Amino acid sequence: MRRRIKDIIMAYTDRGHGPPVVLLHAFPLNRQMWAPQVRVLAREFRVIAPDLRGHGRTTATDGVYTMDLLADDVRALLDTLGIQEFVLGGLSMGGYVALAFYRQWPERVRGLLLCDTRADADTPERRRSREELSQRAIDEGIEAVASAMLPRLLAPDTLSRRPALVERVRRMILQTPVRGVVGALAGMAQRPDSTDLLPRIACPTLVVTGEYDAVSPPEVARTMGQLIPRCQTVIIEGAGHLPNLERPRAFNRVVRQFLRQTTGLAALAG
Ligand code: MLT
SS (H, E, C) 161-225: HCHHHHHHHHHHHHCCCHHHHHHHHHHHHHCCCCHHHHHHCCCCEEEEEECCCCCCCHHHHHHHH
Of 212, 236, 188, which Cα lies nearest the Cα of 92? 188
Q: What is the mean pLDDT of the chain?
A: 97
Tens of pLDDT along 10-38? 999 999 999 999 999 999 999 999 999 99
Is there an atom of ligand 1 within 6 Å of 149 CB? no
The burial class, CB within 10 Å (0-12 / 13-18 / 19+), for 100 is: buried
Is there an atom of ligand 1 within 6 Å of 92 CB? yes
CA of 235 to the centre of ligand 1 (A): 18
CA of 268 to the centre of ligand 1 (A): 37
CA of 96 to the centre of ligand 1 (A): 9
CA of 138 to the centre of ligand 1 (A): 18
**Which pLDDT belongs to residue 156?**
96
Of 108, 105, 180, which Cα lies nearest the Cα of 145? 180
According to DSSP, the residues that pair with 47 across neighbouring strands are 15, 21
- Ligand 1 pocket mutation, candidates 134, 154, 176, 188, criterion most atoms within 8 A of CB: 188
Of 253, 242, 252, which Cα lies nearest the Cα of 216? 242
CA of 45 to the centre of ligand 1 (A): 27
Of 13, 15, 12, which Cα lies nearest the Cα of 41? 15
**Which pLDDT belongs to residue 269?**
60
By percentage, how much of the chain surpasses pLDDT 90?
97
21 neighbors 13 (Cβ within 8 angstroms): no
Bond before 28 cis per omega within 30 degrees:
yes
- What number is the average pLDDT over the span 111-132? 98
CA of 8 to the centre of ligand 1 (A): 23
Is there an atom of ligand 1 within 6 Å of 188 CB? yes
The H or E element containing residue 233 is strand 231-236
201 neighbors 114 (Cβ within 8 angstroms): no
Q: Can you tell me the distance from the alpha carbon of 50 to that of 15, in angstroms, rounded to the nearest whole number?
A: 12
Q: For residue 215, what pLDDT band results from cuts at 50, 70 and 90?
A: very high
Q: Can you tell me the distance from the alpha carbon of 126 to that of 147, in angstroms, rounded to the nearest whole number?
A: 18
| Structure-derived torsion over alpha carbons of residues 31, 97, 216, 244, reported in degrees to the nearest 10 | -30
Q: Can you tell me the distance from the alpha carbon of 3 to that of 180, in angstroms, rounded to the nearest whole number?
A: 18
Is there an atom of ligand 1 within 6 Å of 215 CB? yes
**Which pLDDT belongs to residue 266?**
75
Residue 247 CA: distances (Å) to CA of 43, 77, 157, 207: 20, 30, 12, 16
Q: For residue 42, what pLDDT band results from cuts at 50, 70 and 90?
A: very high
